[in-house]
Structure 1
């Protein structure tokens, strides 16, 4: 995030330069925002794997109306996998988007400054955005769109690899 923040463009030449310069602030500077990441990724991963198969079977059954016009079993399964991942990606990304915004707030704080807790960063961000929850979710549309494509493709390809490995083992 340091290199993505244009306030730091003149300070760091590249990733290696930033990595080496951060050493003087201690190892904690490399992990700024880790709490927000863990609070977002832990439950999000649990939800993804907890609902992936159920969503696929209940909302996208093989003989359901959405897939009725597709005759190829492989195509049908690929579409089911993509839509399952895409749907979960959108829902989960939407639920945890505020934590993502807070993480960015934490990681773009001035290098070497006191690290904020998730709560303090969220409160500061809320105040910075005029006390409006709506402004805390600015940019969510593009994030959800990216998540739709990313998680759809990730689920599709991970299931293809899993199936190939399963066939290889048998």
Structure 2
């Protein structure tokens, strides 16, 4: 990280924020939908279940919702990576980047790597949701 800050210093401060608007859009949409769906799902579960079942349910629901949202928003991640890969180059409009990705490999190009990303999201969102709900029940 230190090397990156030194290397980008000569290019300019704007380079640190390349693709940040796309990142905000993706994270805002996916997190909002995640929490809306999570609160809707929780209405259907028994509040008096044992702790182990409760933790497993929180892991599964958080993991599945996280995997769904991560996969649904994956094309935005592909576009963000494409924007960020050309350090020091021109800041291209999102529409132009989407068109160039599509020309390279069609719609399939937007989902290359989505399965691995979905597995990562399943684990990370599952653990995060399970720990969050545990801490909320225990201390909040």
Structure 1 residue aligned with 2:41, among 55, 61, 64? 55
TM-aligned CA deviation for residue 118 of structure 1: 2.1
Tell me if 1:150 matches 2:101.
Answer: no
State the 4+ residue runs in structure 1 displaced beyond 6 angstroms.
none
Aligned to 2:67: 90
Q: Mean Cα displacement is larger for which, 120-129 or 136-145?
A: 120-129
Structure 2 residue aligned with 1:126, among 95, 102, 118? 102
* TM-score for the superposition, normalised by structure 1: 0.76
Gaps of 5+ in 2: none
Query: Of Structure 1 and Structure 2, which has the larger fraction of its residues in helix?
Result: 2
1:113 match: secondary structure: coil
1:25 match: secondary structure: coil
Gaps of 5+ in 1: 1-14, 64-71
Which has the higher relative contact order, 1 or 2, with Cα contacts under 8 A spaced 6 or more apart?
A: 2
Structure 1 residue aligned with 2:29, among 39, 43, 46? 43
What is the alpha-carbon distance in structure 2 between the residues aligned to residue 127 and residue 19 of structure 1?
33
* TM-score for the superposition, normalised by structure 2: 0.91
What is the alpha-carbon distance in structure 2 between the residues aligned to residue 93 and residue 134 of structure 1?
16
The alignment yields a C-alpha RMSD, in angstroms, of 1.6
